[in-house]
Amino acid sequence: PHPYRYPIIGSTESLKNPRLSQMVEFYQKFYVASNMGLILSGDFNADEVFPMIETAFSRIPSGAVPKRETPQPKLITGVQKEQIKIPVPFVRAKAWAWRGVPAGHPDEITLNILVGLLNNTNGTGMLDRLMVDGKVMMAQALSASLNDAGILAVLVVPNMLALSSSRAVRATLQAIASIKEGDFSDDTFLSLKLEQKRTFEQQLESIDARSAKLRALFSQGINWEHHLQTGAAIDALTKEDIVRAACNYFNDNRFEVTKKTGRYSKDRVEKPKYAPIPLKNSTIESVYAQSLSQIKSKNLTPRFLDFDKDVETISLTPLCTLYLHKNNVNQLFTLKFQFGTGTLERPNLTQLSIYLHLLGTVNYSYEQFRNALQSLGSTLTFEAESNYFVCSVTGFDSHFAETLHLVHTFFKEVKADPKKLKPLRDNKRVENKSFLKTPSNTILALMQKTLYGDDSRYLRQLSISQIRSLKGDELIRLFGEALQTECAIHYCGTLPTDSIIHLINNSGISNQVVPSNSPLIRASKEYTQPTLFLVDDPKATQSIVYAYIAGPSDLSQEERCIANLFNTYFGRGMSSLLFQEIRELRSFAYGTNSSFLIPQPKNRHKNSSFIASLSTQADKTVQAIELLDSLLKQMPLQEERFEYAKQNFTNSITNDYPGLRDISVRIASLKRDGYNQDPASATLSYVQQLQLKDMEQFYKKHISTQPVVWMVVSNVKRLNTAQLSKFGTIEYVKHKQIYKE
């Protein structure tokens, strides 16, 4: 009976006949000052801001909010069995769900640590070990505390080739039973408390994180002072509290949910047979809009990166550079090793990044190594990016030296384990079964094939047979080769520079001998004739459409600036031409976007690319493409919209200063791209001087006169292919042509 059971946007039936009078009534009841919170997080003077707030918002009526009795969910009595349909074949899953606690409940933190005993960042939980040991494909616990109620749940996915899931179920339930019996060490419990405190500190680091936390607390009726006591509440917890909570909440009153392969029927809403409303006065401002435009804005001084002052840059060796940025917020450090080789150069780095998370060293088992990290409140993760292999370390500066020693030990002595190769194969099997069942994935694979041919990342990835033939020692050698590749090391913390240099130099980690080829910029294909690549997805109810235009190389600084401004004018954001014309005015699309992708100065000889996209109902596909095509070929040029675009682009530059832990990464990236100072400063100067005729000239030269290549993923039976053919020669594309299994 709880309102959570209803779709947020409403039922199909209610959406067919919305009543404006009900919307007005709802607004008048609930949009009152006593039901609102205003949250500010940033660099401002509170004494200056409060009078402005009072002036602006005091006109909102303060009326009392009608008291609503929210019906509570029924109690769970006994084991209630349910089945849910998920359209992924061959994968079985079982879940158990118990009633948890609402937000602000004294046991909320207790349940977070309880879940940490099952799954945690370092992979030392009891369910983590089932996955690492290959006993299950996946096992995951969660505790979610919502405003009115909470959920405590455990999910297990058995190994794909197992004849029965009963063994996975027994192992999962045994893990829960072990916690209820208190079968975990004091060291494990203390390390999880440390992890919770690290998470708490991280939530206070940035203005975005603080404002998000403030919004959540306001909606939950919890004040900020109470939240700041979280650290003390974590310290006060005892092992007995965890055992008590496990026995109390992991009880016999639960849902037992089994996954079955299938889909739920969908409501099909036919396109209304309304005649379009003729456009009138589309370029005339309302009185309200005019009053807004007359309000003078304060000119903010943009903050640009200073390559010399914002970071300390130390060349440890010719191929290893250390970037340091001081942390003045808390005692947490981040240490990131960015090795200059990625999946575009070595696709098997993807498998390596998974494999390393499952291994120990010559002298430490997986469990011993990860427990040692966790006891320090530290983490070590690996990620394979397109151009870089990244090892990220986090922790408390008070344990930096011990953490770095453990990381170096792992780098030097990591030990292959043939038994841990199985998850690599299982992950690929699941990906193969599910990837192309999602149109948003299919269109990405189609785009990669269209732009880069056989260099598509989805065609260069390892197939299941290639992964099956991988050897552990082979992957460890690959890791050693990655560690020898040119490296940027990023430290953000509180320790003195000399200490960091000394510790890293003594660790032997800065011993790189192979120059980097990254970033690799693939050559995008050029097409001389309009073409439409079409992938048939018989189960798709929507169409996803991409348009591609091959752009020029060797763009000047001014042209690069115009291209970025064109992005804002044409297709980025809710005020862009695409969004306004296609979605807002005609309801032809759920979402729109476009981007002119330009190689950085170091690779300016490579071609640029223009991509526009939209998603729409299948029966509107032709109309949507027709409209997008017309905007590409005959784009409306409006002085007022151009000025808005300039202002929006200026705002984006002003607000683009990176967060605390991203400053050194951004500077290093800009240096690699060929900049010796923040390019945002020059870009801003160019933008302020640009006129509409400059963008018009750029558009006519590089967009309107170029052939468009279309990519469409849809149910062909719901398309009029004869009408589609007017946009270009149709080429039907099969899944195996765009995705290697």
DSSP character string of 240-277: HHHHHHHHHHSSS-EEEEEEEE--------PPP-PPPP
The CA distance from 191 to 197, in Å, is 10
33-79 pLDDT, tens per residue? 989 999 999 888 999 999 999 998 988 988 888 888 888 888 899 99
Does residue 53 sit in helix, strand or coil? Answer: helix
63's CB contacts (< 8 A; 6+ apart) are: 32, 33, 34
Residue type, 389: F
- Of 496, 617, 606, 622, give the one whose Cα is nearest residue 551: 606
Q: HEC profile for 279-295?
A: CCCCCCCCHHHHHHHCC
CA distance 220 to 146: 8
How confident is the chain (741 residues) per 10-residue block, as mean pLDDT? 82 81 92 91 90 91 85 89 86 92 94 96 93 90 92 91 76 94 94 92 88 92 90 94 96 94 78 73 82 81 92 96 95 97 97 96 95 95 97 97 96 96 89 86 96 96 95 97 97 97 91 92 92 93 94 89 93 91 88 91 88 92 95 93 90 89 95 91 90 94 95 94 94 96 92
Continuous H helices in 342-421:
349-356, 366-375, 400-413
pLDDT at 403: 97
Interstrand relation of 487-493 and 531-536 (parallel, antiparallel or unpaired):
unpaired
Q: Does the CA dihedral 322-327-332-334 come out positive or negative?
A: negative
Per residue in 118-134, pLDDT (tens digit) is: 999 999 999 999 999 88
Q: Is the bond preceding 519 in cis, omega lying within 30 degrees of 0?
A: yes
Task: Give the pLDDT of residue 164.
Answer: 64
What is the predicted pLDDT for the residue at 18? 80
* Phi-psi label, residue 42: left if phi above 0, alpha if psi -120 to 50, beta otherwise: left
What span, in angstroms and rounded, lies between the C-alpha atoms of 622 and 426?
40
**What H or E segment, with its residue span, contains residue 610?**
strand 609-617
pLDDT digits (tens, 9 = 90+) for 530-559: 999 999 999 888 999 999 999 988 988 889
**Rounded CA gap, 300 and 650, in Å?**
10
The whole-angstrom separation of Cα 84 and Cα 86 is: 7
CA distance 7 to 10: 5
The per-residue b/e assignment along 398-425, b for 16 or more CB within 10 angstroms, e otherwise, is: ebbeebbebbbbbbeebbbbeebbbbbb
Distance CA 636, CA 626 (A): 15
Torsion of CA 82, 88, 94, 100, to 10 degrees: -70
Environment class of 296 (CB within 10 Å of its CB; exposed 0-12, middle 13-18, buried 19+) = exposed
pTM of the model: 0.91
Could you tell me the CA-to-CA distances from 211 to 108, 200, 214, 661 in Å, in that order? Answer: 21, 14, 5, 18
Q: What is the pLDDT of residue 203?
A: 85
Classify residue 514 by its DSSP letter. Answer: B
